[in-house]
């Protein structure tokens, strides 16, 4: 099982759930790892929905989810999805309707109020105006959640999954003048020959000799409460 999916599962606590809904489930690798009697993936992509169905996971489209109510989920998760939605409050309203009393909402988002953004500005990996519709801070996310009748129970400033990779990509952007080449190679299947030499050099550097700097920035951001990404666990009230 992918290590990162194990990390994600810790946010909801241990133990078997009756229903877990993952919004923006992609191809379902995370959802398939969840111990729940029933698992539903919410996904906009028809291709991804087909793959979810092939994995024997329940799947619904985002429009269906926005209109649904009374599903009685124990957990509904958004892993770096909410920042891509046109109207995040509509998704949170759907979450409230479909969570059981005392159910948990998990939201992972980039943090615009981060040391990374202060230090590297336009080179910050998560600053993507054409890709991220919203850029949340902890304060703005808290206001949004409270207005939708959720109470924050826990904030994780040490998210391994997105922070370390984000810092490395930010440093490569800043050093080489390239734009998110590692992310494009891993997630977008870009042509390797299109990466300039400077991009390759700084990528290898920050993945090896420069790794202590990556860990230092991660530690400073997390200890100060201003990391590049945050994960919030909130309870329906």
pLDDT value of residue 38: 94
Q: How far apart are CA 45 and CA 225, in angstroms?
A: 35
Query: pTM, whole model, 2 decimals?
Result: 0.92
By residue count, the chain amounts to 237
pLDDT value of residue 217: 98
pLDDT in tens, 97-147: 999 999 999 999 999 999 999 999 999 999 987 789 999 999 999 999 999
pLDDT in tens, 191-237: 556 778 998 999 999 999 999 999 999 999 999 999 999 999 999 99
In this predicted structure, the answer to whether residue 1 has a pLDDT above a threshold of 50 is no
CB 5 within 8 Å of CB 108: no
Which one is predicted more confidently, 30 or 23?
23
In this predicted structure, the answer to whether residue 169 has a pLDDT above a threshold of 80 is yes
pLDDT value of residue 8: 73
pLDDT value of residue 17: 80
Alpha carbon 98 to chain centroid, angstroms: 21
CB 108 within 8 Å of CB 135: no
| Phi, psi for 190 (deg, rounded to 5) | -70, 160
């Amino acid at each position: 099982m992918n290590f990162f999916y194990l990390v994600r599962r810790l946010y909801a606590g241990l133990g078997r759930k009756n229903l877990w809904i993952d919004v923006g489930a992609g191809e379902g690798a995370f959802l398939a790892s969840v111990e729940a009697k029933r698992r539903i993936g919410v996904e906009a992509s028809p291709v991804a929905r087909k793959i979810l169905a092939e994995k024997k996971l329940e799947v619904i489209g985002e429009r269906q989810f926005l209109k649904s109510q009374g599903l009685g989920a124990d957990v509904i998760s958004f892993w770096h999805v909410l920042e891509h939605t046109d109207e995040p409050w509509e998704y949170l309203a759907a979450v409230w309707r479909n969570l059981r009393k005392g159910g948990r909402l998990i939201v992972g988002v980039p943090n615009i109020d981060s040391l990374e953004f202060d230090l590297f500005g336009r080179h910050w990996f998560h600053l993507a105006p054409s890709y991220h519709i919203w850029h949340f801070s902890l304060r703005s996310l808290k206001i949004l959640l409270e207005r939708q009748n959720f109470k924050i129970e826990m904030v994780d400033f040490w998210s391994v999954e997105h922070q370390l990779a984000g810092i490395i990509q930010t440093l490569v952007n800043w050093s080489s003048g390239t734009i998110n080449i590692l992310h494009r190679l891993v997630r977008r299947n870009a042509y390797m020959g299109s990466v300039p030499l400077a991009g390759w050099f700084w990528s290898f550097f920050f993945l090896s000799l420069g790794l202590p700097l990556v860990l230092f920035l991660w530690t400073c951001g997390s200890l100060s409460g201003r990391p590049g990404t945050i994960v919030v666990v909130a309870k329906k009230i």
